[in-house]
Amino acid sequence: MRGGFAMPSDPLLVAIRITDAADTAHRAAGLVSASRLAGGVLSPEWRAHRIETAKARFTARSELHALTPTTREAAIALVRYYGDRVSHAHPTSTRGAARAAQRRLREVFARPGAYPLDCAVWASLPIPAD
């Protein structure tokens, strides 16, 4: 390997960063939409922008869910990502967000080749247990 090149990142870690950025952009667009809607009707351009951020978020989340964590670092990062999603949920939706996060994580970690996730990582999350 040549000296100036870095090792490629784990694709799951890259996907988590992309998905987190898409989530943040969509949340920010939602806050702006709420402030603009208070003053009247949203413009067609703004609606188109909001739809594009929703599509980007959906695509990023779909690509993230298609990947399987094969290392401890990737497994912990994925659990933390879903924990952050629960913490950003609306207070009236926290329980539903927690159940959805648990379901996604169970699906991902049940795949062949997935890193066996230990209970200590689960316990450190803000996701309430069933």
pLDDT of 81 above 70: yes
* Pick from 68, 75, 89: nearest CA to 124: 75
Q: What is the pLDDT of residues 16-54, one digit of tens each?
A: 999 999 999 998 888 877 777 766 777 888 889 889 999
Question: Can you give the pLDDT at residue 78?
Answer: 92
pTM recorded for the entire structure: 0.79
Q: What is the pLDDT of residues 92-115, one digit of tens each?
A: 888 888 889 889 998 999 999 999
In the chain, domain spans = 10-67, 69-130
Q: How confident is the model at residue 58 (pLDDT cuts 50, 70, 90)?
A: very high
